[in-house]
Amino acid sequence: MTEPFLVARNIAKRFGALTALANVDLEIRSGEVLALLGDNGAGKSTFIKILAGAHPPSDGELVIEGSPVAFSSPKDAASSGIATIFQELALSENLSIAENVFLGRELKRSILGIPFLKRKEMRQRVDGLLKELDAHISDPEAPVGSLSGGQRQAVAICRALNLNARLVIMDEPTAALAVAETRKVLALTRRLAARGCAVVLISHNISEVFEVADRIVVFRRGRKVAERLAAETNHEEVVSLITGAHPDVRALEKPN
Amino acid sequence: MYAVRQFGNGIFSMNGREWSLLVACLLAIILFSVVSPHYATSGNAATVLRNSVELLLIGLGMTLLLAMGGIDVSIGIVMGLAAIAIGRVLGAGGNPLLALVAGPMVGALLGCVTATVVVLGRVPAIVGTLGLLGVYRTAVFVLLGGQWLSGLPSSLTNLLATTVLGVPVPALVIAIAYLAVWLALRRTPYGLHLLAIGNSEEKARLSGIPVIKTRFMTFVISCVLTGIAATFYVATYRNVEMTIGSTLALDAIAAVILGGTSILGGRCSLIGTVLGVLLLRILQNGLLLIGVPSLWQPVVTGILIIGVLGFEAVSNRFPLVQLLRARA
């Protein structure tokens, strides 16, 4: 097996006396969809915020392709190739798809010292990305406000790809979507991995996770309690891991 | 709400709103011509256009501000302060070229003050500029010392009342300003950033947009345009009175909103602003000619603002109107 894109070693996060996360070891591989599961407050969100550079870890280290990294802001994480698609997508509804994909990193040419947008090139790049993702959006000039929830997810994914993200973190991408839309976003997630991206998916929907994930990691009370290959586990086992009914988790949580 | 027609980014693209403004202008002209024999003269047409010069320049800046979710209610008095500076230069027999740059320079300076308060100081724009309005107004009184600047030399007037290739200088300057603002808005990253901030400042920040820089620049640009407006004001009237600019902010906001720019930000129309300014000035001039005292002008402006925003609020509440609008 190839070297993982990112290795998290012994990651911990404390907020004052509260331990939100303890001793998390995790490997994230390129071309693989890794699902993080767990109840509310299990530590999934804290963990992805550390990956995204929004929180510094209290302990432990992150290693990207063999070299340790320390993020002090989301910008640092982005420049290491980590893009996070938050639940409340940071898209501007009044701007077009192409404008959103490039927002903050526009292609421009300088004429008399004034930066002018290369609108045509941006449109063509976005057109290509949309086709590649098979996103079924024909017009990159359409305003994002006119798109459905699933199409907006596709735009956010395009944005991540356009930033040359090597790891895309998706926080509950299907939470607010209708069934057909959910299918499309799940297909997009798979295609993202097929392109060689590492994908971390947070979800509450277990059947959805089984549909797209290669590996499943379960968090419970701030700890990673289990890691399974999706092909080697089943719905029932995962539920028992999340709720703590599984013998492995019981053994782990037994007071000693 | 986000119909594709908003993305008519052409330099003079018109949508339903703008066409109806144009029709409103024409209707007003026809109505006033019928009522007043003094109305439909070339002299009066020139007067209306002449009276629109300052408001057109200020309106372009106000369009950018509102599109960004900002506002500047001190803009009229900013023009007053710039006009005083120009008047002093002229009064002291200064070089007319110096008088020409005095307006934009004072505008830039005051724009930095406003931006420091509103952008760096994080005071909400409406409150911050209202506070500055009080400060600036007193500054106008103190600087004028209770007396008008009047009988200023005509050197600036001679410079700006000429034509270049048959085009009057004010028209030329407005055309250049319009082109520059349109290019900035629709063809540079700055314009995208401004509209993104107008849509949601928080999302703009998450997208990695330089929010502070963009907002700062926009307040300064608006004040520089106002400084240019002051230059035309002094050149035309050759005096600066105590009440200078007191209704300008109201007029500018009214014209911009009439033109279809959203008071909530994120959406704007430059050609709409131009038509809004013309409609406002046509109405003000026409009412004067049919015998309505000029005292009533701000009432008309106020009613226009309330009418437009009221209509938009109602049409957002009632699905039928929304549907009709979506079909438009």
Write down the pLDDT at residue A215.
Answer: 95
* Mean pLDDT rounded to a whole number for chain A: 87
Indicate the pLDDT class of residue B327, thresholds 50, 70 and 90. very low
**DSSP 8-state class, residue B120:** I
Q: How far apart are CA B72 and CA B249, in angstroms?
A: 8
CB contact under 8 A, A95 and B192: yes
pLDDT tens-place string over residues B179-202:
999 999 999 999 999 999 999 988
At residue B4, φ and ψ (nearest 5 deg) are -60, -25
Put simply, the chain B residues between 254 and 283 with a CB less than 8 A from any chain A CB are 266-267
| CA torsion, ordered A180, A185, A186, A190, to nearest 10 deg | 140
Average pLDDT of A137-148? 87
Q: What percent of chain B has pLDDT over 70?
A: 93
DSSP run (H or E) holding A28: strand A18-28
CB contact under 8 A, B208 and A95: no
**DSSP 8-state class, residue A152:** H
Contacts of A105 in chain B (CB under 8 A): 208
At residue A45, φ and ψ (nearest 5 deg) are -65, -40
- In sequence order, the 6+-apart residues with CB closer than 8 A to the CB of A12 are A19, A21, A22, A23, A24, A57, A58, A59, A60
Q: Tell me the HSE value of B313 on the side-chain side, using a 13 A CA sphere.
A: 7
Each domain of chain B, given as residue ranges in start order, spans 15-26+38-327
Instruction: Please give the ipTM for the structure prediction.
Output: 0.81
For chain A, the domain total comes to 1
A226 near A195, Cβ under 8 Å? no
pLDDT tens-place string over residues B229-277:
999 999 988 889 888 888 899 999 999 999 989 888 999 999 999 999 9
Contacts of B261 in chain A (CB under 8 A): none
Asked, for residue A22, whether it belongs to a domain, the answer is yes
Minimal Cα–Cα distance from B322 to chain A, Å? 15
- In sequence order, the 6+-apart residues with CB closer than 8 A to the CB of B317 are none
Asked if A15 has any chain B CB less than 8 Å from its own CB, the reply is no
Is the pLDDT at B112 greater than 60? The verdict is: yes
Is the pLDDT at B69 greater than 70? The verdict is: yes
Asked, for residue A1, whether it belongs to a domain, the answer is no
- In the beta sheet, which residues pair with residue B240? B149
B74 near B126, Cβ under 8 Å? no
Average pLDDT of A211-226? 92
Indicate the pLDDT class of residue B6, thresholds 50, 70 and 90. very low
Question: How wide is the angle at C-alpha A220 spanned by C-alphas A218 and A223, nearest 5°?
Answer: 90
| Structure tokens, A104 | 């903050």
Write down the pLDDT at residue B129.
Answer: 96
Asked if A112 has any chain B CB less than 8 Å from its own CB, the reply is no
With CA atoms as reference, report the closest residue to A155 among A166, A140, A169: A140
List C-alpha distances in Å: B228 to B132, B133, B224. 20, 19, 6
B167 near B265, Cβ under 8 Å? no
Indicate the pLDDT class of residue B5, thresholds 50, 70 and 90. very low
CB contact under 8 A, B192 and A93: no
Amino acid identity for residue B25 in this structure:
C
Write down the pLDDT at residue A134.
Answer: 76
Write down the pLDDT at residue B135.
Answer: 96
Average pLDDT of A127-151? 85
Owning domain of residue A22: 6-253
Is the pLDDT at B64 greater than 60? The verdict is: yes
Q: How far apart are CA B11 and CA B255, in angstroms?
A: 19
Is residue B227 packed enough to be buried (19+ CB in 10 Å), middle (13-18) or exposed (0-12)? buried
* Mean pLDDT rounded to a whole number for chain B: 88
With CA atoms as reference, report the closest residue to B12 among B259, B273, B271, B272: B271
CB contact under 8 A, A92 and B1: no
Q: What is the CATH number of the domain that holds A77?
A: 3.40.50.300
Is the pLDDT at A123 greater than 80? The verdict is: yes
pLDDT tens-place string over residues B130-150:
999 999 999 999 998 878 888
Indicate the pLDDT class of residue B324, thresholds 50, 70 and 90. low
Question: How wide is the angle at C-alpha B45 spanned by C-alphas B18 and B273, nearest 5°?
Answer: 25
Asked, for residue A19, whether it belongs to a domain, the answer is yes
| Structure tokens, B209 | 């947009």
Q: How far apart are CA A165 and CA A77, in angstroms?
A: 10
Is the pLDDT at B7 greater than 60? The verdict is: no
pLDDT tens-place string over residues A161-209:
888 889 999 988 888 788 888 888 888 889 889 988 999 999 888 988 9
Minimal Cα–Cα distance from B198 to chain A, Å? 9
Indicate the pLDDT class of residue B221, thresholds 50, 70 and 90. very high
Is residue A178 packed enough to be buried (19+ CB in 10 Å), middle (13-18) or exposed (0-12)? exposed
Name the CATH topology of B15-26+38-327: ABC transporter involved in vitamin B12 uptake, BtuC (1.10.3470)
Burial B132-166 (b: 16+ CB within 10 A, else e): bbeebbebbeeebeeeebeebbebbbeebeeeeee
